[in-house]
Amino acid sequence: MFICAQYSSVYPSWVPPAEVLGVLSDEALYIGELRLRVTPLRDTVLPPVSSKLVKSLLLASPVPGWMRELVEARRGYKPLFVSMLYRGRRALYSATTQAGRPLVARAGQPLEARVAFVAHDASAAWELAAVLGGRRETPYGPVETVVEEARIQTPEQLRLPSPADGPTGVLRVEARTPVVLTSKVLVATEPPPGARIPRLHRLLPSPGLVAAYAFRLWNRALGPRYAVYWRDAWNHDAAMVARAAEVYMAEIDYQLHPETVVIGRGASGRLRLARGWRGWITYRVAGPRLARLLDRLLALTNTLGLGRSRGIGLGDTHAQWIQPKNNKTKPNQ
Amino acid sequence: MFICAQYSSVYPSWVPPAEVLGVLSDEALYIGELRLRVTPLRDTVLPPVSSKLVKSLLLASPVPGWMRELVEARRGYKPLFVSMLYRGRRALYSATTQAGRPLVARAGQPLEARVAFVAHDASAAWELAAVLGGRRETPYGPVETVVEEARIQTPEQLRLPSPADGPTGVLRVEARTPVVLTSKVLVATEPPPGARIPRLHRLLPSPGLVAAYAFRLWNRALGPRYAVYWRDAWNHDAAMVARAAEVYMAEIDYQLHPETVVIGRGASGRLRLARGWRGWITYRVAGPRLARLLDRLLALTNTLGLGRSRGIGLGDTHAQWIQPKNNKTKPNQ
């Protein structure tokens, strides 16, 4: 790339600081994922973001200390995803357009949920699976949980689903809950002193935003041992990846809408809202190198989610390579 | 800004080369705009892009040489916009989703059109208005034209419509015909030798693309006398503006869809298509300096259009400042 982030040249050899990563050594890591069937035992009014029930389920179970810590941690890029409750393909949460209508789950009607995390231990998923099942009391009423599937992967294994052997050049991303991306992710890690960067919610999945967030999440959640680089190590910066993606990737088709979710209530009683995009989009990825990078980065977002508030089920996305349409009359894409 | 386009430092003091501008001196320029009422004199099957009828109307009239040249010129950023024919608010063109259904105009049913241009003469609009009216033969049949409005502005006068005195911080852009933006506009003017930049059609109006195109159009269509700069003259580059817009601007709401238009047929008989976005979008513009810049740049795109193929009516956009909603519970935008 012939574009650079000027101030990042202050890092002659970039190593992510440990406190940024939340990972203190370069030990091996594992990505675990559990699929749960959660059945309310009586008619239940769900919270506006139903993932809170899943969270309290985790905290009501004798889960290991590291998981409890992860659930309660409040920091960006944390290696945990707790999904909304799903009824079939529908994620249960209140968009502001549906405000007032409470979310209700019927007694005996099973719902689905997913928990994904990064762990230091290959057996973490089984330990968690062993303690999560059974009947639990939650602030929303008693529920019965069955762990339907548990899976562990190493970061090296992560690849996107594809109809071919690897990237096809056409990427499809579907968001089942709103994805909240902010413009901060496009800014060099160390802006010059005095620069005031607003935190704006971006509501379109432009290639740069998606790639930059996925790049940061990978490096922050997986730490130095698995760090990925773009071009030179001296400029290990998501802003670089964003610029490459803006030039070598383009939208092919989409169906998108912005959506605001009530994620809680502040101390003053004011509603806390998050606004993001939902729907699906397909991209042409014209750079093979970029395609290979996204093949790994987005495989992580498929489990850990994309964007802010992944810990309460926002950014539940599914990315995959799809077969390019062999359309002779399509415009120059 | 703390981001830079590395290779543009080869321009120690940037002056746009004359051949790039198509404007050979720094003389005064005027932006002219005509609104036409075009009435077919018999039932007419319109071409898939109805602007071609308006173009042949221009060529069938005794227009001055400079206008004839502009209409026939084939180059990017040309200072001419020829709109589609409109029936009320509906632009008449064939999207591929409507392929097969021919566009028909009824005898006696008036249609609207708009022609905008940059001229070297303050009286250019009146000269043009004087020769355009009346009955003309076109390849699509005879039409009767009435010039309903002619207007001339200097580049200094150009400002966006606003409910307040100047930028409000909330920008609305509506596209009545598809806007075709390519990723090339994000790349430094002089990429390093050997860099292969694909020409990809971008289908989302991300702030960077819109701002970068408007910036280039302004500087290329209006030339050195009216050139606008972003930060330092040493880096007079649309890529810089794009990056600023990506950080200091964010979408608030939108209703968008991609659309493909049949713009003609190639030599081999293959359909020539253009794909772009349509609909409307609102942005928050958080940087006052960026807002003042866009206030001028987008006022030019309001007359000359936004993106490729403005000469055949694509990119017919209307940008304006709107009143920010005073919504206490809105998310941090």
Q: What is the dihedral of CA A256, A258, A259, A265, to 10 degrees?
A: 150
- Interface test mutation site (partner B, options A9, A189, A253, A332, max chain B beta carbons within 10 A): A332
* Partner-chain residue, chosen from B195, B200, B287, that has the shortest CB–CB distance to A250: B200
Q: Which of A3, A188, A203 sits opposite B188 (nearest CB)?
A: A3
- Angstrom distances, CA of residue A307 to CA of A23, A310, B77, B128: 20, 7, 37, 54
Determine the pLDDT at residue B234. 43
Q: Do A4 and B6 count as a contact with CB atoms less than 8 A apart?
A: yes
Q: Which residue of B has its CA nearest to A1?
A: B195
B258 and A243 within 8 Å at the Cβ level: the answer is no
Task: Please give the residue that has the higher pLDDT: either B10 or B36.
Answer: B36
- Taking the CA of residue B124 and the nearest CA in chain A, the distance in Å comes to 36
Q: Is the pLDDT of residue B199 over 90?
A: no
Cβ separation B329–A239 shorter than 8 A: no
Instruction: Give B-chain residues touching A257 at CB under 8 angstroms.
Output: 254-255
Parallel/antiparallel/unpaired status of strands A30-40 and B181-182: unpaired
Task: Summarize the confidence of residues B199-221 as an average pLDDT.
Answer: 93
Poorest-pLDDT segment among A22-26, A323-327, B257-261:
A22-26
pLDDT of residue B99: 66
* B270 contact residues in A (CB cutoff 8 A): 328-329
What average pLDDT score do residues B47-59 get? 94
Element (H, E) at A47: none
Mean pLDDT of A185-196: 70
The CA distance from A55 to the nearest CA of chain B, in Å, is 23
pLDDT of residue B156: 93
Structure token digits, residue A172: 């499809």
Give the per-residue pLDDT at B236: 52
Residue B22, pLDDT above cutoff 70: no
pLDDT at A24 over 50: no
What residue in A sits closest to B247 (Cα-Cα)? A183
ipTM for the assembly:
0.84
Q: How confident is the model at residue A106 (pLDDT cuts 50, 70, 90)?
A: very high
Strand pairing of A271-285 and A249-265?
antiparallel
Q: Do A255 and B252 touch (CB under 8 A)?
A: no
Binned at pLDDT 50, 70 and 90, residue A83 comes out as very high
pLDDT at position B248: 92
Distance from CA of A5 to the nearest CA of B (A): 5
Q: What are phi and psi of A317, to 5 degrees?
A: -115, 155
Q: Cβ contacts (< 8 Å) between B204 and chain A: which residues?
A: 204-206, 251, 254
pLDDT beyond 70 at B333 = no
Mutate one of B197, B206, B255 to test the A interface: name it (highest A CB count within 10 A): B206
Average pLDDT of span A281-295: 95
Question: pLDDT value at position A19?
Answer: 43
Contact A314, A325 (CB under 8 A): no
The chain A residue lying nearest B2, using CA atoms, is: A6
Q: What is the mean pLDDT of chain A?
A: 86
* Residue at token pair 């400042």: B321
Residue B7: its chain A contacts at CB < 8 A?
A: 2
- State residue B183's pLDDT score: 86
Residue B54's pLDDT is 96
Q: Given the structure tokens 């704006």, which residue do they identify? A: A200
Report helix, strand and coil shares of chain A as percent, to nearest 5.
30, 30, 40
Q: Closest by alpha carbon to B130, among B76, B181, B63, B186?
A: B63
In chain B, what residues touch A248 (CB-CB under 8 Å)?
183, 198, 200
pLDDT at B25: 55
Amino acid letter at A239?
A
Q: Does B286 contact A200 at a Cβ distance shorter than 8 Å?
A: yes
Token duo for residue B152: 């001339």
- The residue-averaged pLDDT of A4-31 equals 49
pLDDT at A117 over 90: yes
C-alpha–C-alpha distance, residues A172 and B240, integer Å: 29
Q: Distance between alpha carbon A286 and the CA centroid of its chain, in Å?
A: 24
Contact A278, A180 (CB under 8 A): no
Pick the residue from chain A with its C-alpha nearest to B285: A200
Contact A242, A248 (CB under 8 A): no
How far is the C-alpha of B79 from the C-alpha of B217, rounded, in Å?
Answer: 8
The fraction of chain B above a pLDDT of 70, given in percent, is 85
Which residue bears the tokens 């060099």?
A: A188
- CATH topology (fold) of B159-321: Alpha-Beta Plaits (3.30.70)
Residues of B in contact with A274 (CB under 8 A): 331
Task: Measure CB to CB from residue A275 to each of B200, B243, B331 and give the nearest one.
Answer: B331
- pLDDT (average), residues A38-63: 94
Confidence band, pLDDT 50/70/90 cuts, at residue B18: very low
Q: How confident is the model at residue A61 (pLDDT cuts 50, 70, 90)?
A: very high
- How many Cβ contacts (< 8 angstroms) between chains A and B? 149
Domain range A157-321, its CATH number among 3.30.70.1900, 3.60.20.30, 3.30.310.80, 3.40.50.720: 3.30.70.1900
Each residue's pLDDT tens digit, A123-156:
989 999 999 999 999 999 999 999 999 999 999 9
Name the residue among B4, B247, B252 with its Cβ closest to that of A183. Answer: B247
C-alpha distance from B329 to closest chain A C-alpha (Å): 6
The 10s digit of each residue's pLDDT in B218-258 is 988 998 888 888 765 444 578 888 988 998 999 999 999 99
Cβ-Cβ contacts under 8 Å, A204 against chain B: 204-206, 251, 254
Average the pLDDT over each of A99-108, A276-285, B17-26, B37-46 and give the range with the smallest value.
B17-26
A277 to chain B, minimum CA–CA distance in Å? Answer: 10
pLDDT > 80? residue A196: no
Amino acid at B27: E
Range from A12-26, A239-253, A287-301 carrying the lowest mean pLDDT: A12-26
Please determine, looking at this structure, whether the domain spanning A30-153 carries the CATH number 2.40.30.310. Answer: yes
Confidence at residue B192, expressed as pLDDT on a 0 to 100 scale: 61
- For an interface test with A, which of B4, B170, B204 has the most A Cβ atoms less than 10 Å from its Cβ? B204
CA dihedral angle for residue A47, residue A51, residue A55, residue A58, rounded to 10 degrees: 120
Q: Do B2 and A251 touch (CB under 8 A)?
A: no
Q: Tell me the mean pLDDT in the region B83-110.
A: 90
CA dihedral of residues B215, B216, B218, B220 (deg, nearest 10): 160
**Cβ contacts of B232 within 8 Å, gap of 6 or more:** none
pLDDT category of residue A236 using cuts at 50, 70 and 90: low
Domain boundaries, chain B: 30-153, 159-321
B247–A333: do the CB atoms touch at under 8 Å?
no
pLDDT band at B213 (very low <50, low <70, confident <90, very high): very high
Contact A183 B208 (CB under 8 A): no
